[in-house]
Each structure stands twice: as C-alpha cells, then as structure tokens.
Amino acid sequence: MSAKTDSFVAGLMASRGNEQTCRARLEAAQRRAQECEPWLKAFVYRPDAYETGGAAAKPLAGVPIGVKDLMATKDMPTTYGSPIYAGFRPTEDAWIVDRIKAFGGVVFGKTVTTEFAWREPGPTVNPWNRLHTPGGSSSGSAAAVGAGIVPLAIGTQTVGSVIRPAAFCGVVGYKPSHGKVPSVGVHPLAPSLDHIGFFARTVEGAAVCHALFVDANPDAIADLNAWSEYFTVRRPSKMGVVRTPFWERVSDEQKANFEATLARLQASGATLVELDPFDSMPSMLDALQTILQVEAARAVGPAAAEHPDLISQHMRALTTAGAAVPAEKYAAALELQARMRNEYEAWIDGCDAIVTVPATGPAPEGLADTGDATFCAPWSLLGVPAVTVPSGRSQSGLPLGFQVLGRQGDDLQTLQTAAWIETVLG
C-alpha cells in the first residue's frame, strides 16, 4: 500500500493513547474552519468547545467528523435543512452519531444539507471555486472534507447525494450497499432508496468507515498489521465499462478524463469490457422517480402540509406529485427495482467491478442547482456499493471523478478495487 493510502490509519495509530495529539488534531480542524467557514459555509452549527477525554484510547482517537444535518444529535441542533425545525434538539442521537462517539470520534459540527435532502440548496460553496456548487444534498459534508477541515464526514444518498458532491469537491465518496448502515435517527426522504455514506480524503479513510460502521469490526484498526490483513489493494482482473444511454449529457472534459482513466487502468493490467444495459436504464430512472415521489410524500408531506409557508417549491412539487401516484404504479416500481437487482447480478457476472462516470462533468457554475444525478441514480435504485475517486481536473481547475460499482454486499471488495484505481491514478 502506498504512503498516501497508509497515512490515515498510520495517523490513527500515532494518536492512539495520546490525548495531546488528539487535541492538536482537533485544534488544527478548528483553525482551518476559522479560515474557510466565512466563505465556505459548510457547517450550519459548530459547538464552542469539544470534549475529547478518553477518546485517544478508542479506534477513531479523537478524529473530527462532520455530520450531515439530517442526522439527530442530542447535544446540537438538528434542522434537516428546513426552517420548520429551526432550533430543534432531538432527545437521542442517531445510530451513526452514537457509533461515532462510541468509537472515540468527535462530532465537529453539523454540515449543511439541502432541504430534507432534496433540491433546495443551502449556502455552501465549492471549496475549489466558490462560484460553483459543491453538489448536494450532502453539500457541507463534501465541502468540509474537500477544504481540509475534517478528514471524514457523514452524508446520505437517495439519488446522487454522496457520489456526485464527492466528485465535485475532489474527495472520495463511498455509498455502502442499501441498508448496510442503520438509518435510525436519520430523517427519511425515500427509505427504499436512502443510504448513509461517507466522505474521506482517500479510499483508505472510507475503508476505515466501512470497518467501523458497516462491518462493526474495530479490531481491523487495532494496529497496522491488523489493518494490512483486513484491507489490501486489490487489482481487478476484469472491469465492466458502462456509459448508459444518457452519455450525450456528459461534458467533453469528463468524457476525455474517463477515457484517459480507462487507458491508464488497462495499461496497469486491468481487462476492460464494454457492458450495454442501455434498454433498462430509462425504465429504472422512471421507477426511481416514482418511488422517490411516493415515499417523500409520506416522509415530508405532513410537515409540508402543516407549514406551507416554510416549504420550498422543490419539495412542494415532489410531495404533491407523490400524493397523486396511483398505488399500482408505486407497486410496479418496487417490483421493477427488485427485478433489476437480479438483472444487475447478470450484468456484472465475470467482472470484479463496473466503472462509469459519477457526474456529467465538473461542478456547474452557480449555487441555485446542485447538479445532474443521472449517473448515480441507477445504482441508488439497485442499492449496490459505489465509490468515487478523484481522477483529474477540468481546464478551469475543478475536480473530476471516476465511479466504481460492486455487487450487492461486496462493499469491502469494491473499496479494495477503488484503492487500486486510486494508486494507479496517483
């Protein structure tokens, strides 16, 4: 494993049992936040002081972590990105927040989310160019890692809300298989599609999140030997390339970056095969939209009806559409989702992973829209593991990404493949 991918776990090992090192790490994050937050606006709330006593003896050793403001925190406000919940404080932590604390991590603050994780943007800007969107809905989490404030952050993805902003902000995004991370205490948007995911500076950082929050295996980071046995870079023997029938939406820069990345992987020993599941894609996106509308109407509709003056046009349109969907159309969408999960296993058969783009290109200019999620949507419907790694820059200096997909439940292998891609790309 390269020095780059060694750095996160090696840093944890250096901090283990050392309260002074943990405090220094937290103070560095505070200084960076003070520098960036006046213009970045990644956090909706940060506490004035942090408690780190005893954290150094635990697996995360006082690591500061950004937590999306869709997740309940009993000691910090939780607004779900909506004025309806201004100042709201839950009585219990979300499962993921409880686990962060149990493993010695420090909730550095609540990161900005779009309204109930849908399209109404918050104030966060892209850390590489403040005139561009950071993506959404996990805007603040992606930007906070991209700006170097925190090494890890938690987000959610219903359509493209981890993978796309990670690509836009030049960081690693990891969406585990659907249901692998409990969503207790996380405000739902569409439970059949909602995933909890992670942002990190390297694939190794995302893999640490996998070890702790997916595998529940803190022994994997007990020391460097345990980690090297648990997480190894895995060169795939064969990868399937998927361009989808929406390839005309991809910018020339993203296409050129994708082809150059494929060439580098092939030169490093990977066999690439073109896959053509094009006929299924439009119906998959239609099914996702139906499920999203119906389940959002159930999850957010009551609040929207009670506070019509505090709901955005985006959310009003979504919940209104969902309330009008016939029951048989929703049932058919769920049936197609189940069927396509089986078909996906046939698509990927013989391949270690599938690769595609994470977005249409670099982050769009302007803050009114968070970008096109088309190239994340099919994989959110299927609930398969997805990782995006930085793969270069646009001519204007904005990050570009490369998306890696695995089999349902084969999350660790997908991360190992992504780590190999990361080493090839440097």
**Cβ pair 155, 198 in contact under 8 A:** yes
Two tokens at 254? 């993203």
Active site residue 183: no
Distance between CA 81 and CA 79 in Å, rounded? 5
Distance between CA 12 and CA 181 in Å, rounded? 23
Residue tagged active-site, from 15, 41, 58, 68: 68
Distance between CA 161 and CA 175 in Å, rounded? 9
Distance between CA 12 and CA 101 in Å, rounded? 15
**Cβ pair 293, 318 in contact under 8 A:** yes
The dihedral formed by the CA atoms of 248, 193, 69 and 209, expressed in degrees to the nearest 10: -90
Distance between CA 386 and CA 404 in Å, rounded? 6
Using CA of residue 142, residue 144, residue 146, residue 150, what is the dihedral sign?
negative
Active site residue 68: yes
Which residue type sits at 284? M
Q: Any idea what DSSP says for residue 171? A: S
Distance between CA 409 and CA 415 in Å, rounded? 12
Residue tagged active-site, from 138, 161, 177, 394: 161
CA distances from 308 to 269, 301, 302, 369 (A): 57, 10, 10, 22
Residue tagged active-site, from 15, 82, 137, 141: 137
What distance, in Å, lies between the first and last C-alpha atoms of the chain? Answer: 12
Q: What are phi and psi of 366, to 5 degrees?
A: 100, 160
Q: What are phi and psi of 152, to 5 degrees?
A: -135, 150
Q: What are phi and psi of 195, to 5 degrees?
A: -130, 145
Q: Which residues contact 258 (CB under 8 A, 6 or more apart)?
A: 250, 357, 391, 402
Active site residue 7: no
Two tokens at 208? 């640490």
Distance between CA 382 and CA 380 in Å, rounded? 5
Catalytic positions are 68, 137, 161
